[in-house]
Amino acid sequence: MKSAAIFIVGFALGFILGKCSCPPSVERLSPDVRVLTRVDTFRIVKPETVYVRQTGMVVENLRRADSEDSAKVEIPVQQVVYSDSTFTAYVSGYRPQLDSIFIYRPVSTVMVQPRVRPKRFALGLSAGYALTPAGAQPYVGVGISLKLWEF
């Protein structure tokens, strides 16, 4: 009976020491995550023209600046495609306007896995010497272990 009381006291003392040695905290359960927001600006001064195509004609009534004279003039309307490894832009019209632009930029996704709290208890096979009423004897069996610290 005395050895059972010593075993229970020893088990309780080990449990308390294990709980006090590494208290759970929010910082340990989730890693620090920093978010960096950056705006990239692509400046392309003279982009490469990929192709030019005629899309139609516009008839415009043009006036001279110094008099009231005017004349009807046919002006060709073109669509010009500018392209690079980072974008493709479509510009068209007699008075140029941007039709559409496609921007190609690489996107990286970073996934952060939360830290998993290690398990404190384990059930497994154990071997060694055990204290029995008949004294210290070899022991092989199933045992419960408590992890006190991690290397």
The residue written with tokens 């006190």 in the block is 148
The residue among 102, 98, 99, 100 whose CA lies nearest residue 86 is 102
- Torsion, Cα 42 46 50 56, to 10 degrees, reads 110
What spatial distance separates the first Cα and last Cα of the chain, rounded to whole Å?
37
Please list the pLDDT of the chain residue by residue as tens digits (151 residues): 677 778 887 777 777 766 665 554 434 444 556 666 666 666 666 677 788 888 888 888 888 878 888 888 888 888 889 888 888 888 988 888 888 888 887 777 677 777 777 788 888 888 888 888 888 888 888 888 888 876 6
pTM of the full predicted structure?
0.41
At 66-110, the pLDDT tens digits run: 888 888 888 888 888 988 888 888 898 888 888 888 888 777 767
Beta strands in the chain (DSSP E): 48-63, 70-83, 87-92, 97-103, 121-132, 135-146
- How far, in Å, CA of 73 to CA of 68, rounded? 16
CB of 120 closer than 8 Å to CB of 18:
yes
| Cα Rg, the chain, nearest whole Å | 40
- How far, in Å, CA of 8 to CA of 115, rounded? 33
